């Protein structure tokens, strides 16, 4: 199975078209998180060392929103650096469901799919004509499915557009990884993040 950037981005664009067409008069939610990435079997480990840092930035829009529940779609860009393995840049979308308590405490589950391009963090060599030469690294294209669970807290519980802080456990995989050896490589990310809203007024003051 060959994964291409063109076809994957076309699929993502179709999924998140409502985000791109969203009225600029509405407050735009922005999610920013720092995370620790690890290669592990999902849900067998929580906090891992050493730390492999990553950052994610995204937005979202609601399909339905009620007093305590919300069905929504996200669009995220992420980057991680895993020493001695790879660094990766990802673009993906998630379908999420949130339950929000009157106190401001909230719980969310998200299922995502997207594209990731990874690059080796160590030098690679090829053997030809009796000698080794450095191999150019064009990176590798991967499919990027994910399943995430988080717990968060709205700082102003009575406001619909309240800032939110959250801790998120994300299980994800890259495919195809090494078809002749390890076809799928699983990872976990532990995020600590914040959600805030941008409005026309706040943007005009920047």
Range 140-149 average pLDDT: 94
Residue with tokens 């829009």: 61
pLDDT for 164-196, tens place per residue? 999 999 999 999 887 677 889 999 999 999 999
Res. 78 pLDDT band, cuts 50 70 90 = very high
pLDDT at 120: 85
- Residues β-bridged to residue 86: 82, 120
pLDDT at 128: 60
Structure tokens at 22: 């969203």
pLDDT at 88: 93
Structure tokens at 101: 């308590």
Rounded to the nearest 10°, the torsion over CA 189, 97, 20, 139 is: 20
Q: pTM to 2 decimals? A: 0.83
**How far apart, in whole angstroms, are the C-alpha atoms of residue 204 and residue 206?**
6
Domains of the chain by range and CATH?
5-16+34-204 (2.40.160.20)
pLDDT for 39-71, tens place per residue? 999 999 899 999 999 999 999 999 999 989 999
Res. 139 pLDDT band, cuts 50 70 90 = confident
Is residue 147 predicted with pLDDT exceeding 60? yes
pLDDT at 26: 78
Beta-sheet pairing, 185-198 with 140-143: unpaired
Q: How far is CA 159 from the centre of its chain?
A: 26
């Amino acid at each position: 199975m060959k994964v291409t950037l063109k076809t994957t981005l076309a699929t993502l664009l179709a999924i998140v078209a409502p985000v791109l067409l969203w009225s600029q008069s509405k407050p735009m939610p922005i999610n920013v998180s720092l995370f620790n990435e690890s290669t592990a079997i999902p849900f067998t480990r929580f906090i891992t060392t050493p730390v492999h840092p990553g950052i994610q930035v995204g937005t979202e829009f609601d399909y339905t929103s009620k007093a305590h529940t919300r069905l929504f779609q996200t669009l995220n860009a992420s980057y991680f650096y895993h020493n001695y393995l790879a660094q990766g840049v990802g673009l993906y979308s998630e379908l999420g469901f949130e339950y929000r308590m009157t106190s401001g405490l909230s719980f969310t589950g998200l299922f995502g799919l997207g594209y990731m391009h990874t690059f080796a963090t160590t030098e690679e060599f090829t053997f030809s004509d009796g000698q080794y030469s450095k191999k150019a690294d064009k990176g590798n294209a991967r499919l990027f499915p994910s399943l995430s669970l988080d717990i968060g807290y709205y700082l102003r519980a009575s406001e619909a557009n309240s800032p939110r802080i959250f801790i998120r456990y994300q299980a994800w995989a890259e495919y195809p990884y090494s078809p002749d050896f390890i076809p799928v490589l699983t990872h976990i990310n532990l995020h600590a993040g914040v959600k805030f809203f941008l409005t026309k007024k706040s943007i005009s003051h920047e």
